[in-house]
Structure 1
Amino acid sequence: MTDRIGHRFRSPELLQQALRHRSAGSPHNERLEFLGDALVNLVVAEALYERWPKADEGTLTRARASLVRESSLAELGRTLGLGSRLELGPGEMKSGGHRRDSILADAVEAVVGAIHLDAGFETCRAVVLPWFEPGLAELPTGKAEKDPKTRLQEWLQGRQLPRPAYRLVETLGDDHARVFRVACETADPAHEAFAEGSSLRAAEQLAAERVLAMLETK
């Protein structure tokens, strides 16, 4: 079948598996997600390497991270219309799992893995790269914004202020759908922001971004 994904599957069961969350039973999409994660990073890294011949490793790494981070992949999943096609268990359906960033991002990676197994890497790259073209086009050539934690630390250091502190407030959800609630605090000036994410790193980045927004509006 072919649709917004842009690939006609010779083995439709691969796509079916890619869209089946662990909560819906086996075979679910976690192994395909593992494969797709590596493929997405490779496709995006290769595109950046070819388009930005003068960019250093740090710039390339930050650019790739901005394109393949959870929120970016989740938005891509919405663009591809994956949410309504996800197969979820009753609990996840009731809690709105088809809208959750972590589940959508995982599904995107799983679909990429499924395409690769169905048709090989060359076809996979040809199908997947256009998904990232809008994001690639929006990046200033050869430059990539630093992540929020780095920017917050540099903002404070530039003013000779103490480094921010991060604190895990609580962990929510089942093992297969963990949500981490984190606090980011600055002592001088005193600010605190909370954020949630499917990983500690994602939650910390969002909390840092919120604190930075507070500081920059002062």
Structure 2
Amino acid sequence: MGEVRPGNTPKSAETLIRMLGLPFNESLRIEEALTHRSASHERGRKKPIPNYERLEFLGDRVVGLIVSEYLLNMWPQATEGEVGQVFSTIVSTQTLASIARRMDLGSYMILGKGSHSSGERENHSLLADTFESLAAAIYCEYGLETARQVLIPWFAQPLQEILRSLEAAPPREPRRPPVTPEPEAPRSRERGRNPPNYKLLLQKWAQQHFGETAEVRLIEESGPSHQKRFVMGVFLGELLLEQATAGTKRGAGFAAMENLWQKIEDGFMPDLPQRSLPKEPTARETSPTETGEALPQEIPASAESHDLLPDSSSLPVLTFVSEKNNREEEKAVET
């Protein structure tokens, strides 16, 4: 790496351009690409001079274009994934900073006093950014073809290192499409018990209140064949009461019925005319004369209680004979 001149004096931009094998033009683009923001304020006290940041934005695209084009031409049998893996490594901050060090780009950077004192010439990120701004300046001054011829050779060494590391790495297993596990049917909220028969419960509820039958229907089916999604709904006539989504029709239908029954238990009632239950027939009041029955005789309220007793003369006379008299009569007969 070259030495920076004493007093924070960088090497000239002309030296850098001639080192790259290009004819030097009196252009501010190259100096702009090498000027740090700290120096732009120190050198232009009234009006800051342009710095590398705008050119860095363009240089990022220039480097990406020439490197991706080079990889596709050099590696025609590679897949898009393989090319992308190498590309992301070769245009990384680490790789670009290593190329900038081989160019001794830090000794050409125009820094402010504070940045120079803090060692910004060896800053990893700043070196990579300055390389990109230099690529943009070469593109603007000399064209895309010249930029390609000048810059690509600097990528040869890191590219060989990347390819060797990929060859030494164990082969990756081919990616398989993700497998979505079959969703289990929703379980009862009470552990250790079988889930209720929601279909039977809903049928009884619908018949009792509306005189109709609740039905579970398919609303929507989506997704690839290995990852289907089903939307099932519970309908009362044409009215959708509840819906649910799952990986199977059965799972979605069960979830929809369970959710609806929970809502019903919480007081849900759809806005539909309810079935009117038949009234029990009221007994028709009939008079005893219509049935042919005799009217009970009324007891006068003024009658005395003894007047209600039957006449004693009409009662049968009961004669009681003692056991002693019977024995005396039997003895008399024997004698």
Q: Do these two structures clear the TM 0.5 threshold for a shared fold by scoring above it?
A: yes
State whether structure 2 residue 150 is matched by structure 1 residue 135: no
SS of the residue corresponding to residue 19 of structure 2 reads: coil
For residues 78-157 of structure 1, the aligned pairs below 5 Å read 78-140=101-163, 143=166
What amino acid is aligned across from residue 86 of structure 2 in structure 1? A
Measured on the aligned residues, the alpha-carbon RMSD in Å equals 2.3
1:16 aligns with 2:39: no
How far, CA to CA, are the matches of 1:128 and 1:101 in structure 2? 19
**Aligned equivalent of 1:47, options 63, 70, 73:** 70
Residue number among 35, 50, 62 corresponding to 2:85 in the alignment: 62
Residues 1:3 and 2:12 are matched in the alignment:
no
Cα 1:105–1:53 shift into 2, 3 Å: same
Which amino acid in structure 1 is aligned with residue 85 of structure 2? R
Runs of 4 or more above 4 Å deviation: 143-146
Identity %: 39
Q: Deviations over 1:137-190 (max 9, x none)?
A: 33338x5899xxxx9xxxxxxxxxxxxxxxxxxxxxxxxxxxxxxxxxxxxxxx
By relative contact order (CA 8 Å, sep 6+), the higher-ranking structure is 1
Aligned to 1:162: none
For 1:140 and 1:70, locate their aligned partners in 2 and report how far apart those are by CA, in whole Å: 18
Normalising by structure 2, we get a TM-score of: 0.41
TM-score by length of 1: 0.62
Distance in 2 (CA, whole Å) between partners of 1:114 and 1:144 is 35
2:111 aligns to what SS in structure 1? coil
Inter-partner Cα distance in structure 2 for 1:111 and 1:140: 26
Structure 1 residue 118 displacement after superposition = 0.4
2:20 maps to amino acid: I
Aligned partner (choices 100, 104, 118) of residue 77 of structure 1: 100
Higher strand proportion (structure 1 or 2) = 1
2:93/2:125 contact within 8 Å kept:
yes
Cα separation, 1, equivalents of 2:89 and 2:31: 28
Deviation at 1:41, TM superposition (A): 0.8
- Report the number of matched residues: 147
- What is the one-letter code of the residue matched to 1:7? L
Q: Relative to structure 1, is the Cα distance of residues 9 and 36 closer, same or farther in structure 2, using a 3 angstrom cutoff?
A: farther
Query: Which amino acid in structure 1 is aligned with residue 84 of structure 2?
Result: T
Deviation at residue 70 of structure 1 after TM alignment: 0.6
Do the aligned partners of residues 125 and 11 (structure 1) sit closer, same or farther apart at CA in structure 2, a change above 3 Å counting? farther
Counterpart secondary structure, 1:140:
helix
State the shift of 1:89 in Å.
1.6
Residues 70 and 14 of structure 1: is their aligned pair in 2 closer, same or farther, counting only changes over 3 Å? Answer: same
Q: Structure 1 residues 9, 62: CA separation in 2 closer, same or farther (over 3 Å shift)?
A: farther
Distance 2:168 2:101 in 1: 24
Q: Which has the higher helix share?
A: 1
Unaligned runs of 5+ in 2: 1-13, 41-48, 173-335
Q: Deviations over 1:56-79 (max 9, x none)?
A: 122111101111111111111111
For structure 1, list consecutive stretches of 5 or more residues without a partner in the other structure: 152-218
Matched, 1:33 2:48: no
| Distance (Å, rounded) in 2 between the aligned partners of 1:109 and 1:80 | 13
Deviation at 1:119, TM superposition (A): 0.9
Q: 1:145 to 1:91 in 2, by over 3 A?
A: farther
Q: Which is greater in Rg?
A: 2
Closer, same or farther: CA 45–22 of 1 in aligned 2, 3 Å = same
Please say if residues 74 and 105 of structure 1, whose CA atoms lie closer than 8 Å, have aligned partners that are also in contact.
yes
C-alpha contact 1:36 1:109 (8 A) present in aligned 2: yes
Distance 2:140 2:32 in 1: 12
| CA drift at 1:15 | 1.2
